[in-house]
Structure 1
Amino acid sequence: MQYAPTTSLPATAPNGVTAGLDWASTDHVVCVVDAAGKVTGRFTVEHTGTGLKSLTRRLAETGAYEVAIERGDGPVAEALLAAGLTVVVISPNQIKHLRKRYGSAGNKDDRFDSYVLADTLRTDRARLRPLTPDHPATATLRATVRARRDLVAHRVALCNQLRAHLATAFPGAVGLFAALDSPISLAFLARFDCQDRADWLSERRLTAWLKSAGYSGHKDPAVLLAHLKDAPRGASGDDGAARAHSTRAMLTVLASLAEQIKALEAQISEQLALHADAHVFTSLPRSGTVRAARLLAEIGDCRARFPDPAALACLAGVAPSTRQSGKHKSVAFRWAVNKHLRDAVCDFAADSRRANPWAAQLYNAAIARGKDHPHATRILARAWLYVIWHCWQERAAYDPAKHGALQALLNQDPPTAA
């Protein structure tokens, strides 16, 4: 198939005027330059509803219909797009290096940065692309999956904190069940929150409690009790009772986090089911609901944003960064990427090898070449993005029967026995 067409800026700016906006949390500095790079206007607007209306009005008064900005999301970008202005995103990393074009000091100043943004939009038009926003359904899904990801990170951090706390307060509870933050583990700690309460347990009592709690694990109660008895003793008496308060506080927060994560997952499932591109991402092996939603949300639905698979792989950070000078050439890890996208793609790729022979072969071959797990996962993720990109551009579900590399692997003649 042919690669998707790319959007580009006209050779010259409308009215020969470009603007740059340095975004901040309380106010925004704007600079307007003409076709010769001369500053024709500067002003500051507050980050309020009235301020954003004033922003678009004053830009129209200066004749600026193109605005360079450092980030493409949030109310500022939305206000500019809603007013019919062309928004061009120039990342903070690019601005950092572009400052040296205008002086060797490279000092950070909001007024100066707004000028750099405006002038770069004037001079580097051939390399810049206008911001094309995603559909509102995609933006909503992205906000939901990122909120869930943040809560999961909080849950992991709190679980680690609880584990460190229990190492002194009640060591026997650590490792008793498969996961410290599993429902059965949290229920056990809610009932037996200190060493003194756990000392009351016998095999018969523990068996009865596990049955009442609906324990579905395969560990015999005698094995669980032996774990409690063999572990170092925790704090007891007044000290144990005091530490139990901390245990209960962490359990309460963990339970709340688990509840809210579950609620967000229900929202993600509903939003994904209503999305026009859902079938593309849910068809991928072991994508499930949350993984499919994360991939869709981070890739987006604007096909022109990634004119070829390489552009998508670079933004996802799964393509290496190559530097060459004279006879020296180095291939290094790519740092300037969309970290949310890289995390989503690598999470999917790492698990896909358990259900897809082609993915497993690519991963195992990378490991055999001496790559570690993260590197091998990025190699596999890059290969997957080429497949995903074609499915995404064609709005077609992934079909293993049409995956040439997979079919070639499956149709290989089995090795003849000696």
Structure 2
Amino acid sequence: MKSASNTLPDEALNGVTGGLDWARDDHAASVVDARGRELVRHSVEHSAAGLRELIDVFSRAGCHEVAIERPDGPVVDALLTAGLTVVVISPNQVKNLRSRYGSAGNKDDRFDAYVLADTLRTDRARLRPLTPDRADTVALRRTCRARKDLIAHRVGAANQLRAHLRNVFPGAIGLFAEIDSPVSLAFLTRFDTQDKADWLTPTRLGTWLTKQGYPGRTDPAVLHARLTAAPRGATGAEADANAAITRALVAVLFGLLEQIKALTAEIDAQLARHADQHIFTGLPRSGRVRAARMLAEIGDCRARFPSPESLACLAGAAPSTRQSGKIRAVGFRWACDKQLRDAVCDFAADSRHANPWAADLYNRARARGHDHPHAVRILARAWLYVIWHCWQAGEAYDPARHHA
């Protein structure tokens, strides 16, 4: 769910505002009047009955606006369904706002609920009500993030398998380009010990690879030479004992690869049905998954980003400037949407291989002494200006019209 740029009214309805500090097991609520006096302080458990009780608390107090620290989840859904206006105030802001009410720096959920409610009363001009994205955008975002999490699990499991094989079967590590590739996992399924691999000859390995559908980019004789040149692994009873671990890790990786493939297909299907898919799929080297990630993280609420600068700042592609007197420092922007930054930088890094002005912009940034990540963020900022104009106009990227 995303926050739009429509403004709040100058005064809260009935002169009261609410705050809600959510947690895993329970939630603290607070309601303040127009002078900042706390009228209600209440806690509910995280359950269906508790959420109904929470809505009833705000309703009895005549509160129609609630500030909260997160933009999604069952609590936010319940508030929106009840017709309440939800305003998101980030945890970093709340942390800094506590100093308004004391210098001790104490952290208490009930006090944070009061801080949220009172900030909604005093800082209305700088706050925006939450407007949810369409259901298809939310579903696409969740699917893309789930796929990204599974890839992280796959990398972790592959590292675990590599570390295990380094001790018991080193020859299998450098045999193929990736330890978690389908052909590598198939090899470890059939030849999970040094004893079984010793049976192989270049001819036998070539026959086995043909049955696996190996594309043959590397000659079987070369692969066999890699296998025999590596340090020998465990043999005999020790090898058989460690083979169980190998099989377990291989099975985990096979399952992860299968589910990643399934989610990739689901992302492709959801993207094909989305009204904004043409805006992102036409970008160079965007593909389907990258296009889906950018669409999902940017969302479909145009009012959320009134300018390309606002989009670049949230994506962490614009630097953060700190200035006091004669001292001026420009540094990395830590406060941003990490998921959005990752999606945009992943696209920008590869776009330079297919787009002339993107390559030129990246190369000039490197020539000025910036490292690769910094140069990619510079390129990502340029792309975000292009994407913002295409997104606002609802049109696909046109290389002849859209430049940095």
Query: Which category of TM-score, normalised to the shorter sequence, fits these structures?
Result: over 0.9
The within-5 A match list for 1:74-223 is 74-223=73-222
**C-alpha deviation, 1:57, in angstroms:** 2.1
SS at match of 1:336: coil
Contact 2:321 2:331 in 1 (8 A): yes
Match of 2:394 in 1: 395
Match of 2:320 in 1: 321
**C-alpha deviation, 1:50, in angstroms:** 1.8
**C-alpha deviation, 1:55, in angstroms:** 1.5
Q: Deviations over 1:80-139 (max 9, x none)?
A: 111111110001111111101110011110010000000000001111111111001111
Match of 1:234 in 2: 233
**C-alpha deviation, 1:348, in angstroms:** 0.5
- The whole-number CA distance in structure 2 between the counterparts of 1:6 and 1:78 is 20
Match of 1:22 in 2: 21
SS at match of 1:294: helix
- The whole-number CA distance in structure 1 between the counterparts of 2:110 and 2:17 is 15
SS at match of 2:130: coil
Q: Deviations over 1:46-82 (max 9, x none)?
A: 2111221221222111011010000010011111111
- The whole-number CA distance in structure 2 between the counterparts of 1:285 and 1:75 is 37
The within-5 A match list for 1:46-65 is 46-65=45-64
Match of 1:414 in 2: none
Contact 2:193 2:239 in 1 (8 A): yes
**C-alpha deviation, 1:380, in angstroms:** 0.5
Match of 2:346 in 1: 347
Q: Please tell me the residue identity of whatever aligns with 2:224.
A: L
SS at match of 1:284: coil
Q: Please tell me the residue identity of whatever aligns with 2:249.
A: M
Match of 1:73 in 2: 72
The within-5 A match list for 1:300-315 is 300-315=299-314
Kindly tell me the number of residue pairs found equivalent between the two proteins.
401
Match of 1:359 in 2: 358
SS at match of 1:401: coil
- The whole-number CA distance in structure 2 between the counterparts of 1:11 and 1:37 is 16
**C-alpha deviation, 1:404, in angstroms:** 4.2
- The whole-number CA distance in structure 2 between the counterparts of 1:49 and 1:390 is 43
Q: Please tell me the residue identity of whatever aligns with 1:88.
A: V
Q: Is residue 257 of structure 2 the alignment partner of residue 285 of structure 1?
A: no
**C-alpha deviation, 1:250, in angstroms:** 0.3
SS at match of 2:87: strand
- The whole-number CA distance in structure 1 between the counterparts of 2:287 and 2:302 is 23
Match of 1:410 in 2: none
Match of 1:31 in 2: 30
- The whole-number CA distance in structure 1 between the counterparts of 2:165 and 2:365 is 40
SS at match of 1:29: strand
- The whole-number CA distance in structure 2 between the counterparts of 1:171 and 1:54 is 60
**C-alpha deviation, 1:329, in angstroms:** 0.8
Gaps of 5+ in 1: 406-418
Q: Is residue 18 of structure 2 the alignment partner of residue 13 of structure 1?
A: no
Q: Please tell me the residue identity of whatever aligns with 1:371.
A: H
Q: Deviations over 1:150-197 (max 9, x none)?
A: 000000111111111111111111121111111111111111111111
- The whole-number CA distance in structure 2 between the counterparts of 1:260 and 1:391 is 33
- The whole-number CA distance in structure 2 between the counterparts of 1:26 and 1:168 is 44
Please give the TM-score of this superposition, normalised by the length of structure 1.
0.95
Contact 2:386 2:403 in 1 (8 A): no
Match of 1:264 in 2: 263
- The whole-number CA distance in structure 2 between the counterparts of 1:327 and 1:250 is 58
SS at match of 1:8: coil
- The whole-number CA distance in structure 2 between the counterparts of 1:404 and 1:335 is 27
- The whole-number CA distance in structure 2 between the counterparts of 1:171 and 1:25 is 45
- The whole-number CA distance in structure 2 between the counterparts of 1:122 and 1:193 is 66
- The whole-number CA distance in structure 2 between the counterparts of 1:342 and 1:143 is 16
Match of 1:297 in 2: 296
Q: Please tell me the residue identity of whatever aligns with 2:225.
A: A
Pair 1:116–1:336, CA change in 2 (3 A): same
**C-alpha deviation, 1:241, in angstroms:** 1.2
**C-alpha deviation, 1:275, in angstroms:** 0.7
Give structure 1 regions of 4+ aligned residues with deviation exceeding 6 angstroms.
none
- The whole-number CA distance in structure 1 between the counterparts of 2:268 and 2:21 is 37
Q: Please tell me the residue identity of whatever aligns with 2:17.
A: T
Contact 2:17 2:120 in 1 (8 A): yes
**C-alpha deviation, 1:6, in angstroms:** 3.2
- The whole-number CA distance in structure 2 between the counterparts of 1:115 and 1:6 is 24
SS at match of 1:402: coil
Q: Please tell me the residue identity of whatever aligns with 1:403.
A: H
- The whole-number CA distance in structure 2 between the counterparts of 1:164 and 1:261 is 23
**C-alpha deviation, 1:217, in angstroms:** 3.0
SS at match of 2:179: coil
Q: Deviations over 1:197-219 (max 9, x none)?
A: 11111111111111111110311
Q: Please tell me the residue identity of whatever aligns with 2:272.
A: A
Q: Please tell me the residue identity of whatever aligns with 2:169.
A: F
